[in-house]
Amino acid sequence: MRTAQLTIDPAFSIGPADRRLFGSFVEHMGRCVYGGIYEPGHPTADSRGLRRDVLNLTRELGVSVVRYPGGNFVSGYRWEDGTGPVGNRPRRLDLAWKTIETNAFGLDEFMTWAAEADVEPMMAVNLGTRGVQEALDLLEYANHPGGTELSDLRRKHGAEDPYGVRLWCLGNEMDGPWQVGHKTADEYGRVAAEAARAMKMIDPSISLIACGSSNRRMPTFASWEATVLEHTYEHVDYISAHTYYDPSDGDQASILASAVDMDNFITEVVATADHVAAKQRHKRKLKISFDEWNVWYESRLQADLDRRGWVEAPALIEDDFTAVDAVVVGDLLITLLRHADRVGVAAQAQLANVIAPIRTRNGGPAWRQSIFHPFALTARYARGTVLRTDPVSPRYDTKKYGDVPVLDTVAVHNEETGELTVFAVNRDSTDLSLEIDLRGLPGMSGLSFQSIAAGSDPTATNTEADPDRVTPRDLPTPTPDGGRCAVRLPAVSWSVLRFGPANA
């Protein structure tokens, strides 16, 4: 068996594990809203049509912030269509997903849902087909207390108090030629800067996110960020990043190393933002909002779209995630935590049905996909200060990312409880012996060791008929001796190891 070593010391601090790293995303796409979080008439739905089974799973997942209403959808969306009496709302063509949008669910319903789910709302404005004025109108409707046409309209619609939305995305993936209203970096930078400046006049307490690249493979990547930030740096608080990893080609060695790519992506966006800061003499460091990330069998999307005409809420990209996908998702979360000093917000895309940890059947049950579990456990235990771990690890070769380490780790120290949690991924197809040196935190004993192991059944998925096939399993809890212990990480696995003060 190969071996790896890890040294944990509270002196190697990266920064606080911000709760906003555990965000998710609800887009008007496929069955994320309709048949996902909202389904009037469903046996668990409340009087407003909110599915209680999905609300419960959302809380269990530990989601902190939810981005809404898109995604590509937002670039053709008129937010006011989704307000007021439902019977008066227009049916529209949604060009992003070739779908008929009924607008039965809109801003006010989302805010009600977010309050019930106990999540912070994160709104995106349309800078595709619309511009500064409509962004201002939406902000006035949402955040202004009252006494103006739009804030009073919100009150008339039943929301007496302002929603107080703090996080606002200035458009979505505006670098992408697929985006309705796609722009060059200069065109987008100008409109984003003007929208940002004016939005902060209405509500200076908001935080704004400029669009970064849709992914690291975009031909304009990095020059897009540089140009956009030249226009916007002084007005915005975050630059966004999006990435999806597609396992469709069956190259397991590479998909397991996806986090290496995400790590490089973050480092490069930070370098680009810091370049603009240096050039423009800004002292404030910009953070990243990694507001779309996941595993996605993306190559199947086009066939889904080509196959049909204009319909309401079609089943779209309802990927069944495997045990290997769960390991990859766990590793992407490790990467986000490792960059907690520069990634301030993150949102897994999406929450329900559409490449999602929660799946539902219309009129039927809701269940947890394999990727639900690493998210829920990380959100639950990554509390406190993120620690740098720098493991010593064997390496292996991948087609996509070259030579990469077999082991990936991060640790989080909760100063209040004294607990230490280590998250670890073994990308190898054999077990790995991990020696952990905890002498920097004297007097620790093991609390638990849970693992999702994909080695023996990599393609296993959770289905309506078998919803718990891929779940975390308890492994023997390690007992540190003289501040050291060794554990066996299963082949192709994501693990969470918890330690706490021995005398607690």
Q: Which is nearer to ligand AHR, 70 or 82 (CB)?
A: 70
CB of 324 to ligand AHR, least distance (A): 21
Active-site residues: which are they? Answer: 173, 292
As a residue count, the chain comes to 504
Q: Residue 466 CB: number of other CB atoms within 10 A?
A: 11
β partners of residue 426: 407, 493
Q: Which is nearer to ligand AHR, 179 or 252 (CB)?
A: 179
Using DSSP, state whether 412 is helix, strand or coil: strand
The candidate with the shortest Cα–Cα distance to 94, out of 142, 126, 65, is 126
- Give the CA angle between residues 259, 452, 434 to the nearest 5°: 75
Cα within 13 Å of Cα(379), Cβ side: 25
CB of 191 to ligand AHR, least distance (A): 18
CB of 28 to ligand AHR, least distance (A): 9
Are the CB atoms for 501 and 418 separated by under 8 Å? yes
- Residue nearest ligand AHR by beta-carbon distance: 71
DSSP string, 183-222: --HHHHHHHHHHHHHHHHHH-TT-EEEE---S-TTSTTTT
CA 385 to chain centre: 20
CB of 41 to ligand AHR, least distance (A): 27
The Cα–Cα gap between 384 and 411 comes to 10
Query: Which parts of this chain interact with ligand AHR (CB under 6 A)?
Result: 27, 29, 70-72, 172-173, 214, 292, 349-350
Cα dihedral sign for 265, 266, 271, 277?
Answer: positive
Q: Which is nearer to ligand AHR, 180 or 475 (CB)?
A: 180
CA distances to 243, 306, 316, 429 from 303, rounded to whole Å, are 21, 5, 10, 33
**At 344, phi and psi to the nearest 5?**
-105, -20
Q: Which is nearer to ligand AHR, 208 or 316 (CB)?
A: 316
- Give the CA angle between residues 236, 242, 248 to the nearest 5°: 175
CB of 14 to ligand AHR, least distance (A): 28
Q: Which is nearer to ligand AHR, 99 or 207 (CB)?
A: 99
CB of 292 to ligand AHR, least distance (A): 6
Q: Which is nearer to ligand AHR, 72 or 462 (CB)?
A: 72
CB of 493 to ligand AHR, least distance (A): 27
Are the CB atoms for 140 and 162 separated by under 8 Å? no
For residue 137, the one-letter residue type is D
Q: Which is nearer to ligand AHR, 27 or 428 (CB)?
A: 27
The Cα–Cα gap between 476 and 449 comes to 7
CB of 170 to ligand AHR, least distance (A): 14
Q: Which is nearer to ligand AHR, 297 or 381 (CB)?
A: 297
Are the CB atoms for 296 and 245 separated by under 8 Å? yes
Are the CB atoms for 388 and 440 separated by under 8 Å? no
- Give the CA angle between residues 119, 122, 125 to the nearest 5°: 155
The Cα–Cα gap between 68 and 48 comes to 18
